Structure 1
Amino acid sequence: MSRPSTKISELRLDHVTREFGGVRALDGLDLTITGGEFVALLGPSGCGKSTALNCLAGLLPLTGGTITLDGRRIDTLQPEQRGFGMVFQNYALFPHMSVRSNIGFGLRMAKVPKADARRRVDEAIRLVQLEEHADKFPGQLSGGQQQRVAIARAIVLEPPLVLMDEPLSNLDAKLRLEMRTEIKRIHQTLGLTTIYVTHDQEEALSLADRLVLLRQGRVQQIGSPEEVYTEPANRFVAGFMGYRNEIELPVSQVNEKTVVLDGLGGGLTGVRRDDLGERVVAAIRPEDFTVGDGPNATEITVEVVEYQGREQAIQGRTGDGVDLHLRADARLAPGDRVTVSVPPERVLVFAAESPAAPEEVA
């Protein structure tokens, strides 16, 4: 399939706000996206990510702010005037139309000449690898195949922007992995500009060039997957991105970059990430613990073991009653007493009053 002729240079969201009954579902979103970028809007349910996508699509009017595409304001345009491609969670295919007809529907509505439309539909079918299914109906396809049809229908229009709203959430785990690879391949092949909504951290990390992490309508962090994963901006981002251990402890010593905390064995040293009070929260990923002696060593009693193939997921408890979650290659059993350690640079220390919202981190 040829590269889109409607390449964009820049999409800008300036203080985009959307209220529902006086409640701000989206609160002053500022974001600039360059042509060819894959940006994921990430966060828990109700954080504002789908609201942002619907504002971009024109399905929701803005309460405040502006959206401009290459310097032209578009938030006042109707959805069909924006010309964006949309891929929905529920596929939204016409059950009485064949794969070929579903993909070509938008081209017919746009009155694209038949020969050109046929060529573009054929190219889209090849791109999503559905040549053998072109004359089937949606009901004859698997979930993954139906989602490929929905993607082909969006890209066949050669849109300046593709919007994807949780497109893989209805698929099983194996299909999600396969379709994730397909979406990445199609994006790279066509050089599309894509905005992708998901609540799945792994999905966002694997697909996106940049992540926009939202909470209660406000941006918490914008950055590359590596930046957000390794350098979370606050305690909420850390919790959402997998820092499952959040241990509240008193401060023993504060240096410019490091903090020494009382508790957890002989004390815990970590990296300072906040202005700190007397009590703080140390955030640690389960996979950053090592079974064996080392820095920040403490002894735990194994309580719960979950088999996960080459690894075990382990919940243990320290002598002073702190529950720890870790992953280990070593085969452990409930009741085992082992020493675990974690490098200080893998321990992020936040103020205890920083918002954690654990009920949202699901």
Structure 2
Amino acid sequence: MKIVVLGIMLAGLAGRIPAQNLICNGGFEAPQFGLSTTFTDIPCWHSTSGQKIEVQNKSAGYVQGVIGTQYVELDVNTNSDIYQDIATIPGQRYLIRFWGANRTGSSRSAFRLLWDDALLGTVTRDSGQTTFGRFVTEVVATKTVSRVALAADGPSDSLGDLVDEVSVTPIPAAGSRLGYAYYLPHFADGAEWGSSLSFGNSSPNFAATVQYTVYGDDGAILDPLLNGSLTLAPLASTVIESPRPAALRTGWVKVLSSEPLQAMVIFRSVVTGRLDLEATVLARELTTETVAPYDNVAFTTGLAAVNPGTTPLTLTFIFHGTAGGILATSTLPLGPNAHTSFAIPTKFPLVAERNGLVEIRATDAAGNPANFVPLGLRFTPGGAFTTLPY
């Protein structure tokens, strides 16, 4: 029996650490055997196709399994399936992951991923893709017992799809399927400034539902007309231009998505008689502290910061000179959901005409570390600007 391996792109997990796997025998390592074998059932797994479950072993000369020695083929004699029922919590989001491959000798590989008999997606791969790939998506449970299933959907000819290392893990914070959050810590719209929001769906298999909300400096919605929602097809992208009214308004953007995104904001400065200037800022991660450069000698360093939480926090700034000594220390309160942006030498005159490193730490009312999102920009006297690593 020959094999073509299914190459599926690994979707980004946005730093998540999955909880305990709810799938039993997800690697198909029980029972162990020496050659390919078919079973009516194997521990924890069953089939609705009326065919047995075919378990293959590396030692039989087939494709290498991801972990351990065994994996399942979904096309036994004709297209077949496997399923497992697991205990779930209604409203809880779950991360589904597995590795898949196509048999060599098959012109096309296709299989369906189902949750409670509803189709989550179909993956198709041609004969030229010959390495195992990992597949990732999310789902929200609606029952206390949910069924996850994988079913062959390619040519029904006994040359089927191979599956290994299936897992279903709960994602913290039950609720919306929009489980990926991205933070764009500065948004400038009006006068000479425009901000373009750029979103790309990283999933090669599932459409992404995306919601974006623009908040002002006070934490309230800046303008309802700036907010929106959209659906991006697999690997699709879009750019949303700000309207650029006469008066400048500033804030920040929170983006929620059902699939991993490439999310960024592109700042544009437009001044009559001068070439347009741009800088791109990728979505930033939450942090409790950062250390980054500032330069107010030949340039001007600007800072933006966001408190994405529901309680106030305090930002502490410790400015160091180029030799490492402390030049100035100051604090700045930041309310819930609020945003601030300023030129560092204007806010902190003691470091005007200086350069070095600045430590920024966020704490809550009790003095405990708190999450914030920083962004630094450096401007030339002529108006050109670039992002800094904070």
TM over 0.5: no
Q: Compute the TM-score of the two structures, normalised by the length of structure 2.
A: 0.28
Q: Compute the TM-score of the two structures, normalised by the length of structure 1.
A: 0.30
Q: Which of the pair has more CA radius of gyration?
A: 2
